DNA sequence: GGCGGTGTTTTACAAGTGTCCATGATTATG
DNA sequence: CATAATCATGGACACTTGTAAAACACCGCC
């Protein structure tokens, strides 16, 4: 990232960043990410190439920023779980899925041109793995004494990602209760009845 | 892949394929995969660029082939588990780790320049995920009635990959028994004592 | 209004990418 | 050995990429 996101964004910068992410997501709904060129992107967004390179290192950099941009629309992310219970993780899980559900039409169009093991999806998964690592490692699912904490955290993050992939990238329709069942099954946790409220 | 690997390779083709994979792995031990250019690769391997493009679509294609090349040295892979028991999966797991252990010096050098979420490692993981999917889905770990088989298979593959990453890419030293413990823990299987032989 | 700093735009450039084609070399066949 | 098919080679081509430097527009500020 060339541009410093730490300092407050000017009106113009916010506009430019938004335009580029919108254009990329729009193009990704028409063709594979790999065959999108920076030239095409700038032409479509109606910016000169130099402006693009003022903000981003390359198109992969922009892709990363896209996920950040999207995840910032999910207001809950700036306030992640400082709770330490399993139920907190489950709440986070539910909110994440609810937020992603709004983007489902976008995703399913993009998936028509971008394979699950392609560049775009890898980048998506990789971004959310990072997010999840942070949230999960602050939780106390690590009650597994015989597993290194990092390994356990990574495993929980992987399990959640697997379900995100299943629902949002592979377009399976699953009820919320069923998702919880799946998650507990994956984590090796004894199934908890839903009337735990 | 431009070249047809299905038909029997000529002497020259085998030599060329080997030279390119060796050169790529050699270069990857000196710098990040992203900053290796096809030009540099050809210069180092002493082949004209046109020859490279006779065999591969691009450098990512060559990278994929590298993993195939390496995995073909593991003689056990052409004869994967047609067994259906957990113990068969465990045997496969052990043989895979033994085979990878021979490449550990190579891996650890490459990891100095290629981050765990970088292009090279992603490609590596992705290749072995494909291999594992095939092997795992022919196994009967899918005794989980409340989980779709694909999901279960993917989960088992993910768990094994997590351990591969832990040992070979993140360079942790773990005994075989401990690895088994980890694996069972990840899979949510009740811990089985090692004197099961 | 004029000034100076910021960031944008323009243009140019060197290097890399992937394709194509004409020519030569190798190879597995008869 | 001779032949035809296959593959290697070198050069040329259109295109993309990332950078650099100079001209320009937009700000708040005196």
Q: Residues A89-129: pLDDT tens digits?
A: 888 899 999 999 999 999 999 999 999 999 999 999 999 99
Q: How many CB atoms lie within 10 A of CB A125?
A: 21
Nearest alpha carbon to residue B118 among B35, B39, B22, B1: B35
Write down the pLDDT at residue A145.
72
Least confident of A18-22, B5-9, B135-139: B135-139
- CA distances for B183 relative to A80, A119, A131, B147, angstroms: 29, 29, 24, 19
- Residue B188 banded pLDDT, cuts 50, 70, 90: confident
- Residue A138 banded pLDDT, cuts 50, 70, 90: confident
Query: Does the pLDDT of residue B145 top 80, yes or no?
Result: no
Decide if A36 contacts A25 (C-beta within 8 A): no
Q: DSSP letter for B48, please.
A: -
> What's the rounded Cα separation, in Å, for the pair A108 and A172?
11
In A75-95, which positions are buried (b, 16+ CB within 10 angstroms) versus exposed (e)? eebeebbeeeebebbbebbee
- Residue A197 banded pLDDT, cuts 50, 70, 90: very low
Query: Does the pLDDT of residue A144 top 90, yes or no?
Result: no
pLDDT digits (tens, 9 = 90+) for B16-62: 999 999 999 999 999 999 999 999 999 999 999 999 999 999 999 99
Write down the pLDDT at residue B56.
97
Contacts of A117 in chain B (CB under 8 A): 126
Interface probe with B: pick from A117, A123, A164, A191, most Cβ of B within 10 Å: A117
Cα maximum dimension of chain A: 57
Nearest alpha carbon to residue A95 among A109, A78, A113, A111: A78
> What's the rounded Cα separation, in Å, for the pair A89 and A86?
5
Write down the pLDDT at residue B91.
87
The Cβ-side half-sphere exposure at A134, using a 13 Å CA radius, reads 11
> Two tokens at A2?
């060339």
Counts for chain B of helices (H) and strands (E), in that order: 9, 0
A58 strand D contact, CB < 7 Å: yes
Query: Does the pLDDT of residue A135 top 50, yes or no?
Result: yes
Beta strands in B17-153 (DSSP E): none
Write down the pLDDT at residue B6.
92
Tell me whether residues A185 and B188 touch, CB distance under 8 A.
yes
pLDDT digits (tens, 9 = 90+) for A59-98: 999 999 999 999 988 865 444 445 456 677 888 899 999 9
> Two tokens at B7?
């038909």
Write down the pLDDT at residue B144.
66
Average pLDDT, chain B: 88
Per-residue pLDDT averaged across B113-119, rounded? 95
A10 strand D contact, CB < 7 Å: no
Report the residue from A122, A144, A189 with minimal CB separation from B122: A122
Decide if B87 contacts B49 (C-beta within 8 A): no
Least confident of B14-23, B72-81, B146-155, B166-175: B72-81
Q: Work out the burial of residue A171: count CB atoms within 10 Å of its CB; fewer than 13 is exposed, 13-18 middle, 19 or more buried.
A: exposed
Per-residue pLDDT averaged across B165-172, rounded? 97
The Cβ-side half-sphere exposure at A144, using a 13 Å CA radius, reads 27
Per-residue pLDDT averaged across B183-187, rounded? 91
Contacts of A51 (CB under 8 A, 6+ apart): A16, A42
Query: Does the pLDDT of residue B79 top 90, yes or no?
Result: no
């Amino acid at each position: 990232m060339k541009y410093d996101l730490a300092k407050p964004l000017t009106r113009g910068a916010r506009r430019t960043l938004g335009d580029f992410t919108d254009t990329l997501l729009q193009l990704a709904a028409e063709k594979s990410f790999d065959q999108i060129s920076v030239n095409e992107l700038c032409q479509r967004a109606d910016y000169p190439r130099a402006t693009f390179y003022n903000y981003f290192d390359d198109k992969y950099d922009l892709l990363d920023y896209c996920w950040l941009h999207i995840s910032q629309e999910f207001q809950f992310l700036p306030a992640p779980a400082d709770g330490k219970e399993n139920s907190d993780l489950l709440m986070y899980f539910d909110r994440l899925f609810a937020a992603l559900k709004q983007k489902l039409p976008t995703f399913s169009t993009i998936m028509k041109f971008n394979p699950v093991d392609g560049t775009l999806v890898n980048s998506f998964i990789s971004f959310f793995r990072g997010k999840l690592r942070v949230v999960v490692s602050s939780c106390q699912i690590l009650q597994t004494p015989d597993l290194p904490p990092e390994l356990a955290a990574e495993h929980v993050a992987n399990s959640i990602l697997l379900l995100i992939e299943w629902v949002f990238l592979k377009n399976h329709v699953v009820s919320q209760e069923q998702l919880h069942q799946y998650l507990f099954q994956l984590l090796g946790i004894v199934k908890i009845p839903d009337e735990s409220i």
